A and B are shown apart, each in its own frame.
Chain A
């Protein structure tokens, strides 16, 4: 039963789109070159930090790991430990109450670190922009390398963004 449902849906579900934004990819490629990419290899481990989300972005981050999107097929995986992580992926606004925890997570990660802001909140504060309880988007606390907008971005958009990082990483090969 499971196999028949699975087969049927493998056929009917469109694959997630894979094109990455070329300008982003080019910019990242340059940056990565300077940061000795051979040390990282192709696989990237991601540490996620929710710095003040509504939890909508987390739902879609979890969705990219389900069997439809299967994030690991791209060599990407989430890790609980910042020590093992190459990518710091931030969702939510930069809530004042999370600023210290976010800084400590970054400090615990070995360089080089690529920082990605996922969702409108992390990009610039989203609808919460201007609230005194927040300092803005993720870039109000850390330097951000890549932004993926959307409220929340769809799993396809998140994977697109992450792929642009990988493609930059491997020089597009």
Chain B
């Protein structure tokens, strides 16, 4: 695969939905839904895409922080990850640009938050309770993951792919495996492909159940939170019984999977799905019936269809704002072409719509897991990646949206890699959505999108 090399003019005017941007060697790469393009770096500089595609801004900052490559013609100033440059680990705070106006004040939250979540700083401009502006400053969990993956074989680098974002460990491992397999022309055995999908759907369900519960919990519905947390726990226990790890970390590897499903694993999964299916209608009714709960969720954290399209929002966030997108179908990957997957879409774009999408996806996932388990092909579970060369692009639909991995392999070793979690395009939407509501609703909005910090900080 050699993506087309475009002049500055055609690079900047390429049409399509923007997905990701990065630099490598002498080239800048941009991924659109219409394909991958490149342009040559001139003195380490390339024409910015952010004026036309606002989602590119974070990628441009990251390119500068990681590789020192500048985007010319940018309007943003802050860095993505290089905050603390002084040897004692302290740094001047970046300049936040509060909303103008009489009586507007700033509220600083983080990097350490009240709950058990990842670190990040939120700077709100508020007037009374109304949020006028939110700036999110991320980069606190930067671990230098991409650099650690270079120079390693795909099998060795897979351990890092599995730790880009722990809640989406299966999806990232899968996207990484897809990229490697595309680069090396490797087709994993059918049994591995089926079991990968079982794991991916289990991971989706585990996250959806805990997200739905956490949103209800934030709106004062401890009962729903407790019950959904219980189902999440059962799903993790079933994953452990079937695959030996509660999050199924390091199970998906380039060429296949690391271990076969254990004896009794399929039944453990089936029992868990049955228990959820039995209780789900009752729990959904609680969601729908309580006016006080609906009052907190309906209209809260609104992301309009136009805005969602501008940022090419994927996953739950995109589908709750009218976007019929799902990487499992488009561009699509095995075995979903066999699954008759139906993708739920809502148009309200609020927290309530994002909960509805999750509830609908739970049902789709357990339907597919049962089908997959009932029709598991026999045979091998992995092929060894050959020590050849190539460039590959891979995608997987995580519970929060598509994750993309791109890599270059030279005689069996990774020379360069970049990856984009769906969160990268979702964080700006969280900033927008916060401004449609009052400050007290922010936890609900943040949880309803559930963007990853680690997946963006890399």
Interface residues of A (CB under 8 A from B): 1-2, 5, 9, 13, 48-63, 65-68, 78, 80, 92-93, 95-101, 103, 105, 127-128, 130-134, 151-152, 154
Contacts and interface: CB of A to CB of B under 8 A. Distances in A.
Nearest to A141: B89
Taking each of A5, A97, A133, which has the highest tally of chain B beta carbons within 10 Å of its own beta carbon? A97
B84 A99 contact: yes
Contacts of B144: 128, 131-134
Contacts of B134: none
Contacts of A80: 114-115
A101 B247 contact: no
B143 A128 contact: yes
A51 B142 CA distance: 10
B230 A152 contact: no
Interface of A, secondary structure class, is: mixed
Interface in B247-275: 247, 249, 275
Interface stretch (B161-169, B179-187, B301-309, B354-362): B161-169
Contacts of A58: 116-118, 166
Contact of B142 (A49, A65, A97): A97
Nearest to A89: B116
Given A127-B160, A127-B163, A97 B247 contact: no
B111 A54 contact: no
Given A1-B282, A59-B166, A98-B119, A52 B141 contact: yes
A55 B166 contact: yes
Interface of B: 81, 83-84, 89-90, 111-112, 114-119, 139-145, 147-148, 159-160, 163-167, 169, 210, 226-227, 229-230, 232-234, 236-237, 240, 246-247, 249, 275, 278-279, 282, 452-454, 457
B119 A66 contact: no
A63 B163 CA distance: 19
Nearest to B230: A67
B206 to A, nearest CB: 9
B84 A96 contact: yes
Closest 4 CB pairs of A and B: A56-B166, A133-B144, A80-B114, A131-B144
Contacts of B111: 98, 101
A95 to B, nearest CB: 6
16 contacts: A1-B279, A49-B119, A50-B116, A52-B143, A54-B163, A55-B165, A63-B229, A68-B230, A80-B114, A80-B115, A127-B159, A128-B163, A131-B144, A133-B142, A134-B143, A151-B249
